Structure 1
């Protein structure tokens, strides 16, 4: 049984991908579907069943697909990631590879997605020729080890991460920050956690203190 999860901000695409893959690969079971990166992170942390492979759309509304993949990779050292996109593969291939995925495939190609899933399930990673370049994606373990060796403080905060920190620093509750950012509370929490890791601190209070120091 291949345990699958899918992250895509389009509810129709989520259902279509789930139905298409399960129809083509009868041994597949979809564990969960998520329309937001923050929700996917919540599932990774708390859902009792860990998927074998997660399909992640590279174009999400609350955060970028590569950011979500990198966060999942740091939390899930045994779950494979397959990037999907409706844009040119060349646009996201390098970013997807750096984020710790095991491959990338066109979102509208169910046969290609199924082939990629089977390849990753069988050998652990994909190789793909995109444009003039051949990409050899990492295995789950290789990607996990590389991301954990990286220096988190060298990665700048995204606009959403900085906005979440600023709102909390200015006294907004998580629910108030979520309303202002037009996202769910879990997404605010995810952005704050990312900010903590990038800055190299271990609490929300410390990341808030960092923001005020930065504003001097």
Structure 2
């Protein structure tokens, strides 16, 4: 499992018992990895990731956090840095959170109960390899950071101009393309969107492709990220 490298891992989950169990299982599965810290509040996790002294190499983020939610934790960490591998975890439907989590900077989304798989993914991502799991970002951490930071931390003048361009691009979307993007953001699959809109799955994919092209995105994940940022 190891690529002759050690790394520091942290996790945020609002359930104390879950944190204890995850810590025990991660330490058992990855004895060479240092569990740097655990916490229950999203704001605390973000603050620790922004500090060089407490920044982990890998952060596991529960999607069902109270207060600052898991998606917002992912977004704030990724806007600030590309140096933290972000893995979204949940005990609920992966599909429900996948689009939002990946658009917010997560490198993959995983079932919280499959700790061994999470550990495999952490090792793979830290060592520059793609994890063997269904929901994986098409973007590297560096590219995701660059895209999000361009909207969240750009020079006011340049950022305003970029946003105006993006808004103009979004304005070119048809009503149906807008509706499809709204449903994509909710984590709906193409099949589910087709059923809701009474169109075929292939038609949904065509709408997504057209919307992505207008938004300057290469794929669905990037299109969702662009659309989310335009809603802020």
Relative to the length of structure 2, the TM-score reads 0.60
Unaligned runs of 5+ in 1: 155-197, 201-216
Shift of 1:22: 1.1
Equivalent residue number for residue 145 of structure 1: 146
Kindly indicate whether residue 115 of structure 2 is the aligned counterpart of residue 110 of structure 1. Answer: yes
| Correspondence 1:45 to 2:50 | yes
Q: Which residue of 2 aligns with 1:87?
A: 92
Which structure dedicates a bigger proportion of its chain to strand?
A: 1
Deviation (angstroms), 1:101: 0.8
**Which residue matches 2:64?**
59
Contact 1:4 1:52 in 2 (8 A): yes
Q: Name the CA distance, whole Å, in 1 between partners of 2:40 and 2:83.
A: 22
- Alpha-carbon distance between aligned partners in 1 of 2:79 and 2:142, rounded to the nearest angstrom: 11
Q: Give the match for residue 36 of structure 1.
A: 41
Could you say which residue in structure 2 is the equivalent of 1:122?
127
Query: What is the count of residue pairs matched by the alignment?
Result: 154
Paired residue for 1:179? none
Shift of 1:125: 4.4
Name structure 2 gaps, 5 residues minimum.
1-5, 154-159, 164-229
Give deviations 1:101-130, integer Å, cap 9, x for gaps: 111110011111111112212225446436
Asked whether the 8 Å contact 2:57–2:83 carries over to 1, the reply is yes
Specify which of 17, 24, 28 is matched with residue 19 of structure 1: 24
Cα RMSD over matched residues?
Answer: 2.6
Using structure 1 for the length normalisation, give the TM-score: 0.64
Residues 15 and 101 of structure 1: CA distance in aligned 2, closer, same or farther (over 3 Å): same
What is the SS of the residue equivalent to 1:66?
helix
User: Is the 2:50–2:77 contact (alpha carbons within 8 Å) kept by the matching residues of 1?
Assistant: no
